[in-house]
Amino acid sequence: MILTCQNINKAFGDHQVLKNASFHVEEYEKTAVIGINGAGKSTLLKIIMGDLPADSGQVIIAKGKTIGYLAQHQDMASSHTIFDELLTVKQGILDLEARMRQAERDMKQAGGEKLQELMDSYARMSHEFEQQNGYAWKSEITGVLKGLGFTEEEFGKQVDTLSGGQKTRVALGKLLLSRPDIILLDEPTNHLDMDSITWLETFLMNYQGAVVIVSHDRYFLNRVVTKIIEIDQGEVTTFTGNYTDYAQKKAQLREARMQAWLNQQKEIRHQEEVIAKLKSFNREKSIRRAESREKMLEKMDVLEKPTEAKADMRIELEPQTISGNDVLTVRGLSKAFPAQDLFSGLDFDIKRGERVALIGSNGTGKTTILKIINGVIPADAGEIRLGSRVHVGYYDQEHHVLHMEKTIFEEISDDYPSLNNTAIRNVLAAFLFTGDDVFKRIGDLSGGERGRVSLAKLMLSEANFLILDEPTNHLDIVSKEILEQALNRYTGTVLFVSHDRYFINAAATRILDLSGRRLTNYVGNYDYYLEKKEELEAAGTLASASAEISAASDAKLDWQQQKEQQARLRKLQNDLKRTENRIEELETRDKEIDASLEKEEIFTDVAEVTKLSKEKETIREELDTLYEQWEKLQENLL
């Protein structure tokens, strides 16, 4: 074990954040710490680092092991350039290289024993230099900076002039280059685009050290971690596996606890009814038996009712009217800013009932497209047409639709004057604003709180076309899942920008990829997009595919055909999964039979051997059919 936490307790006033938190991290293990906002995740990392004292308990780090930490927010002050700031991590290698150069110069002048000493010293330094990858320090820094989304043109920017997000990326780069034995990362993907997150995933998966990550990015956690540490109401529980494994096990545990509670409640009611019945007999013997049962009930350790999953926040999105089939038509859309030409000649359509994710690297113009559609900024060229009976609801990641000087209550009541006080309070309570919280100023709220107010207004709008810009920013995992479920139940149309790949996977039915100043269309979720993009890139046909897709859009491909194609694809995938499961089931049984036939008590029993042989033959025949079926399904999926 490289890191151990034993019985960590921490409280802020009356609020107990951590209660006897105990867990360990193995060498090279990749671990996530998860929980709702305010659960104590960042507090735990600060306690491990010694930046915050625990009330009791201890943190044990294996002897001689180094640890590095990336906090959520960086206040980095430096006159260095970005490249030079990362170069400070390599100062030891630079000093070693300087000593090697000096030794080379000295060896030219030395002789005899002095030369031998210098040569021995030089050999040791050379070995150490090679061990520390000294010959590749420049390319290593360049690779990390590019991986984190910096262009070579930005390498010379002064750190003091950077935004908070850019400084966080610089700090992350320095930490990764320093290669400690244990890395603690607090929301490392917050300021990264998809390409950079993918790069970071690969880096961490291959990292020769232990990693502990606090993150709400479920796709990232699925790819990187093999253990989940959950903080729930101060209690810490460890689960093996990635986020999906954790979610499944958590659901099973919750179901088992609920069933145990229901069973106990049933037993309590039964005993109470029996007690009442016995007492009603009004016989001494019956009363004694009733009293005995009452004592048994008093000694029972009554279980608490498990809290319902996602019971706190409630989002119900439902359009007031049904729009026409053609919701949005965009033709020849172009936009450039003085220092940047974003895109030109974009064409796309959105139909009723679609949930379309607009994705692409930072700076490609995704949010700009949403703002143009909403009339927030003008296009340089192009036409945007909303279909008949289309009513837009807009969620802006910068929350410009909110009024900073108003209270939360005023924000709702001014926009929806027909709602009475009780109705407004009920809506706000559904988004976790209760009591005096409703009188907080919008300008004083956190990013997550403003997001919840925007979602409340979106729900009340009863719009049939939702345009959402990074709706999951500042939301914890539970809130994200609530929003996903609400969008999946929503009968209107959705266009959204997000870098949350798990959210895209759960919510999108179509992907528009904005790259190279043009759009590429993928009918499916994020996993499908990744698969098809890899295939196209492997074949070197991405550009031609873009042209074909654009041509198909120009030809106004029949919408019903696309829907039928999606349904056919889902059916084939389901059939394939069922076939694979049945094959695995039969192959397992076949191996079990083979193992049985090797046992003396079986192979000496003629009747049992005959029975198992017949079963093997039946399995073989069904497998032959299933193998052929599997091949056909695979071919049809191509």
DSSP 478-511: HHHHHHHHHHHH--SEEEEE---HHHHHHH-SEE
pLDDT for the residue numbered 633: 73
Whether 493 and 365 map to the same domain: the answer is yes
Does the pLDDT value for residue 478 go beyond 90?
Answer: no
Q: Is residue 29 part of a domain?
A: no
Query: Tens digit of pLDDT for each residue in 386-405?
Result: 999 999 999 887 777 789 99
Question: Among 508, 539, 556, where does a domain finish?
Answer: 556
Find, among 64, 63, 66, 44, the residue nearest to 55 by Cα: 44
Query: Tens digit of pLDDT for each residue in 51-81?
Result: 999 999 999 999 999 999 998 777 778 889 9
Mean pLDDT of 553-576: 63
Of residues 585 and 563, more confidence is placed in: 585
3-class secondary-structure state, position 7: strand
- Calculate ∠ Cα 467-468-471, nearest 5°: 165
Q: Which residues pair with 350 in a beta bridge?
A: 328
Whether 99 and 181 map to the same domain: the answer is yes
Q: How confident is the model at residue 183 (pLDDT cuts 50, 70, 90)?
A: very high
What residues contact 522, with CB distance under 8 A and at least 6 apart? 510, 511, 512, 513, 528, 529, 532, 533
Of residues 72 and 525, more confidence is placed in: 525
Q: Which two tokens stand for residue 609?
A: 């051997």
| Residue with the two structure tokens 């919008």 | 442
Buried b (16+ CB within 10 A) or exposed e, 250-279: beeeeeeebeeeeeeeeeeeebeeebeebe
Q: Which two tokens stand for residue 375?
A: 């009339």
How far is the C-alpha of 280 from the C-alpha of 115, rounded, in Å? Answer: 108
Find, among 172, 159, 254, 167, the residue nearest to 215 by Cα: 172
Edge-to-edge strand list for the sheet holding 227-232: 67-70, 182-186, 210-214, 30-34, 227-232, 235-240
Q: How confident is the model at residue 46 (pLDDT cuts 50, 70, 90)?
A: very high
How far is the C-alpha of 496 from the C-alpha of 393, rounded, in Å? Answer: 11
| Residue with the two structure tokens 């320095």 | 174
Whether 189 and 277 map to the same domain: the answer is no
Whether 280 and 221 map to the same domain: the answer is no
Does the pLDDT value for residue 556 go beyond 70?
Answer: no
Quote the DSSP letter at residue 407.
Answer: B
CA 378 from chain centre, in angstroms, equals 34
Q: What is the largest CA-CA distance in the chain?
A: 115
Q: Is residue 345 part of a domain?
A: yes
What residues contact 468, with CB distance under 8 A and at least 6 apart? 394, 395, 494, 495, 496, 497, 498
What residues contact 166, with CB distance under 8 A and at least 6 apart? 191
How far is the C-alpha of 461 from the C-alpha of 455, rounded, in Å? Answer: 10
How far is the C-alpha of 368 from the C-alpha of 370, rounded, in Å? Answer: 5
Which residue type sits at 356? Answer: V
Q: How confident is the model at residue 550 (pLDDT cuts 50, 70, 90)?
A: very low
Q: Is residue 30 part of a domain?
A: no
pLDDT for the residue numbered 131: 82
Whether 434 and 545 map to the same domain: the answer is yes
Whether 225 and 273 map to the same domain: the answer is no
Q: Is residue 579 part of a domain?
A: yes
Whether 175 and 148 map to the same domain: the answer is yes
CB-CB contact of 195 with 167 (8 Å): no
Does the pLDDT value for residue 39 go beyond 50?
Answer: yes
Q: Is residue 312 part of a domain?
A: no
Mean pLDDT of 152-170: 89
Find, among 203, 168, 198, 199, the residue nearest to 186 by Cα: 168
Find, among 138, 52, 60, the residue nearest to 93 by Cα: 138
Q: Regarding beta strands 465-469 and 392-395, do their DSSP bridges make them parallel or antiparallel, or are they unpaired?
A: parallel
Whether 220 and 291 map to the same domain: the answer is no
Domain membership of residue 274 as a residue range = 247-299
pLDDT for the residue numbered 338: 85
Find, among 445, 477, 33, the residue nearest to 237 by Cα: 33
Mean pLDDT of 379-383: 93
Q: Is residue 46 part of a domain?
A: no
Question: Among 539, 556, 573, where does a domain finish?
Answer: 556
Of residues 474 and 525, more confidence is placed in: 525
Q: How confident is the model at residue 543 (pLDDT cuts 50, 70, 90)?
A: very low
How far is the C-alpha of 486 from the C-alpha of 492, rounded, in Å? Answer: 11
pLDDT for the residue numbered 50: 93
- Calculate ∠ Cα 579-581-587, nearest 5°: 100
Whether 477 and 621 map to the same domain: the answer is no
Does the pLDDT value for residue 568 go beyond 50?
Answer: yes
Q: Which two tokens stand for residue 402?
A: 């909110």
Query: Tens digit of pLDDT for each residue in 215-245?
Result: 989 999 999 999 999 998 899 999 999 999 9
Question: What value does the mean pLDDT of the chain take?
Answer: 86
Q: Is residue 306 part of a domain?
A: no
Whether 589 and 520 map to the same domain: the answer is no
Does the pLDDT value for residue 120 go beyond 80?
Answer: yes
Residues making up the chain, counted from first to last: 638
**121 CB-side CA count, 13 A:** 16
Whether 513 and 581 map to the same domain: the answer is no
Provide the percentage of residues in the chain whose pLDDT is more than 70: 93
Of residues 538 and 16, more confidence is placed in: 16
| Residue with the two structure tokens 């992907």 | 511
Of residues 280 and 317, more confidence is placed in: 317
Q: Which residues pair with 511 in a beta bridge?
A: 357, 522
What is the tally of structural domains in the chain? 4
CB-CB contact of 458 with 396 (8 Å): no
Does the pLDDT value for residue 187 go beyond 60?
Answer: yes
Q: Following DSSP, what letter does each residue of 310-324 receive, concatenated?
A: T-S-------SSPPP
CB-CB contact of 395 with 454 (8 Å): yes
Whether 274 and 385 map to the same domain: the answer is no
pLDDT for the residue numbered 402: 87
Q: Is residue 320 part of a domain?
A: no
Q: At what angle do helices 447-461 and 477-489 cross, to 10 degrees?
A: 10
Find, among 153, 174, 172, the residue nearest to 164 by Cα: 172
Q: Which CATH number is 346's domain given?
A: 3.40.50.300
What residues contact 548, with CB distance under 8 A and at least 6 apart? none
Provide the percentage of residues in the chain whose pLDDT is more than 90: 44
CB-CB contact of 81 with 156 (8 Å): yes
When computed from its CA atoms, the radius of gyration of the chain, rounded to whole angstroms, is 31
Question: Among 536, 556, 576, where does a domain finish?
Answer: 556
